[in-house]
A and B are shown apart, each in its own frame.
Chain A
């Protein structure tokens, strides 16, 4: 069964550094998402992306964050000038279409640790 893959599985970065989290969505999917889960807390929506542009974002997704689909397969989340509170598990998801009866498929996540 096709999977969403995320790399790396664990990223350790110094505070203030930039980090790029990578995702390869399922190949025929058109909608892409990033979520994060701070340790011990619930999963939170960050951003959704369709047709090479952001379609919705949360208040968490400020100017520090950006997303990109640099080629036909990768979907990236960039965090500029990381802060300690950016430490979390970041999940990428994709779906075949918006709304309707299409589920979102999740990757295994990238654990980001900011030192």
Chain B
């Protein structure tokens, strides 16, 4: 069983829609990361959180430690948001364990 599960695996939406990507994990963690992987393969760190909620521009990330669940929301989605979004949890001090990613496509 995967330690980090994301849903959905693929998501297609129209420009302007509100997007939610979910991440559930089954292990104890010290932090959770949301990452964005561009079509060329590069990875960008969006958020790191261990409790509560963080917001950056149109992106919002929340985490519920008791339920072992995190969500990434995108408001007013735009075609440039199209990418793979990856949830990764930090087990212990350093090692990251990754989810399989959610491929998001925003159509104009």
Contacts and interface: CB of A to CB of B under 8 A. Distances in A.
Contact of B45 (A41, A101, A105): A105
A109 B94 contact: no
B41 A103 contact: no
Interface range on chain A (Cβ under 8 Å from partner): 20 to 34
A43 to B, nearest CB: 4
A48 B95 contact: yes
A98 B95 contact: no
Contact of B40 (A99, A104, A108): A108
Contacts, number: 63
A109 B99 CA distance: 18
B100 interface: yes
Interface of A: 31, 33, 35, 37, 41-45, 48, 55-56, 58, 89, 91, 98-99, 101-109, 111
Given A98-B93, A111-B41, 4 more contacts: A42-B100, A43-B88, A56-B95, A109-B43
Interface of B: 30-31, 33, 35, 40-45, 48, 50, 86, 88, 90, 92-101
28 contacts: A31-B94, A33-B94, A37-B41, A42-B86, A42-B98, A43-B86, A43-B96, A44-B98, A45-B96, A45-B98, A55-B94, A56-B94, A89-B41, A99-B30, A99-B90, A99-B92, A99-B93, A101-B50, A103-B33, A103-B45, A104-B96, A105-B45, A106-B35, A106-B44, A107-B42, A108-B41, A108-B42, A109-B43
